[in-house]
Structure 1
């Protein structure tokens, strides 16, 4: 069973003529973000991190739903982060523990890592009480190439349907075999959708990304039109450039079996941006904090044996900060009473696909259904 997908609390009808951006209120209104948190984040498949970084117990808020993740050997599970007694959170958002059992801090109900109720103080002699009836509520969870995805409402389409044909594009890079080389946390004063829209076009690159344009032609490549809840495409490397770095040189190890002349930029709905390079994988994981504020966790993954990935980190930290400044300016412009949605340029087709996906979701069509 999948979510009923009630329409969002705003009108998204397009004017007659060329397709346009969403209306400004989609980027600035608190009630719209509240709807998105429930339906687009909790109601689909949100990325909650890397499986090899999970402790035995971890609390995280997925959209607007508190979730408890547990890890027991190779088994990863997800549960509603609410005690079956009085609803107290078992761990706070961002909290973690390494114990073999989960203990509610309110009345000390005890659960195993597979969600079963082990002990409920003073309930031993209560007539009709059965621990088997009060286990934690399980939630769908999937581990894909080392990333953990959770459907916090429990009613999304299967993860394979959500991925669609993205799976075949990512598989050659085998991200699960790569190690974390660096990570930056950014707080960007822009709506999460503005960040994805910026990520999906290089129309802006000649104006704000001189380093990027030196190693990759901004008009190169193509965008994909394939099934799944994602958008994206590929760009070429310039002649003589080995990778995306300040001098175009790689100081890492090239990944076997991948195209060494292109870089893939893929946005898996709703919150994981995948940048696949010949010699490293970079991700941006988004968490909306407010209509105009987004936390962005940027991570770089390289092959085992690579000791220094600073060549990639320096290039993208500079590029990220250029993007964040642009996104923050867009957000300020969206808040102007004079903003009107503009048309898409011919090379903004991936942005248009993303906006169409969002628009259809607002109107009641889940993002995993064909565009």
Structure 2
């Protein structure tokens, strides 16, 4: 019996295989080649051409409500700090001291100054060096010559985005089509009530793709939302260059899945419609008439993904006397669904390493996965 052909093994071989796959019409589309999930070479191409150039979400603007509030993130090898300055403006900086290059801030919190934990060089909230112990004894030192490099930072619909690419179009420009699609929801005013951080043993793209399709709901989530998920109720239109999306219109199993009686923004079937939004490359949002939840992904090598997981309620439900009860019920459900998703995506990651693993045809409900693959094929350069 003839042996199966060897899969591509370098990043550029995999890119060629991915592009060849993406040239197929959707009706004959396959899943991405297994190696795109396991190859360190391919991840290096993603870091170079995707993560170092795209807008990346770091969280909600409401998390940085007061001057000095900050959150940290990492873009490839570049630590970044995002904060609210003394004038109430959002700013982002290189989170690396200009002295001996220690990382400055960790996690999130509130500071009056950015103080280096190594030698106590400290910076104002606009990035200027404010103090450097005993450095006045060095004649060549001039404090005014030091300022933390700025990183582009913008807000859209209540979300904070950063990029290392000075030439990237504004977030609002790239997502103008999405703004128009979801405008009646009023996502900017949704109130975050929790966020957590997790690390799962899977490739970041496997988790992203899992979010992008609801084809898996009846099976993987058969103990939770699966019995309430009717595949015939799902619509998966073609995506746009910066995002893809799909809709589910149904009577929700939770009261907050439908619009609150006080919600006058949504009319007709929109009062029962959930939008699932995949904003490339790593921002994933489930937006319902009453609540939202999201994932923000950051690869940690090919085999792990850091996840920022959060959610909250539409303003009408925040003002409802039962808001705490509603949120507690939702959080319990989301935790159960996440546990099911973790099992699923970690099983896929084990499977894509198999020597006999081969990508099969996509279903009509996996149109977003096809669009995501084409996005990657476009963004990653051949050399």
Q: Normalising by the residue count of structure 1, what TM-score does the alignment of the two structures yield?
A: 0.83
Structure 1 residue 27: deviation in Å? 0.5
Are the structure 2 counterparts of residues 181 and 70 from structure 1 closer, same or farther at C-alpha, using a change threshold of 3 Å?
Answer: closer
On the 8 A contact 1:115/1:136 being kept in 2, the answer is yes
On the 8 A contact 1:67/1:79 being kept in 2, the answer is yes
Which of 224, 230, 233 aligns to 2:243? It is 230
The alignment status of 1:257 with 2:278, answered yes or no, reads: no
Structure 1 residue 163: deviation in Å? 1.9
On the 8 A contact 2:59/2:159 being kept in 1, the answer is yes
More helix by share: 2
The alignment status of 1:45 with 2:55, answered yes or no, reads: yes
Structure 1 residue 128: deviation in Å? 6.8
Match of 2:175 in 1: 163
**C-alpha separation between the residues in 2 aligned to 1:116 and 1:158?**
25
**Residues 124-133 or 190-199, more deviating:** 124-133
**Number of equivalent positions:** 351
**C-alpha separation between the residues in 1 aligned to 2:175 and 2:11?**
23
SS at match of 1:91: coil
Equivalent residue runs for 1:55-204 within 5 Å: 56-72=69-85, 74-92=88-106, 94=107, 96=108, 98-124=110-136, 130-183=142-195, 185-204=197-216
SS at match of 2:233: coil
Equivalent residue runs for 1:341-360 within 5 Å: 341-360=359-378
Equivalent residue runs for 1:213-362 within 5 Å: 213-225=226-238, 227-237=240-250, 241=251, 243-245=252-254, 253=260, 255-258=263-266, 259-302=270-313, 303=315, 304-305=318-319, 306-308=323-325, 309-362=327-380
Task: Give ranges in structure 2 of 5+ residues lacking alignment.
Answer: 1-9
SS at match of 2:309: strand
SS at match of 1:225: coil
**C-alpha separation between the residues in 1 aligned to 2:166 and 2:365?**
37
**C-alpha separation between the residues in 1 aligned to 2:221 and 2:289?**
20
Structure 1 residue 350: deviation in Å? 1.3
On the 8 A contact 1:119/1:131 being kept in 2, the answer is yes
**C-alpha separation between the residues in 1 aligned to 2:365 and 2:84?**
43
SS at match of 1:138: coil
Structure 1 residue 183: deviation in Å? 4.0
SS at match of 2:356: coil
SS at match of 1:312: helix
SS at match of 1:89: coil
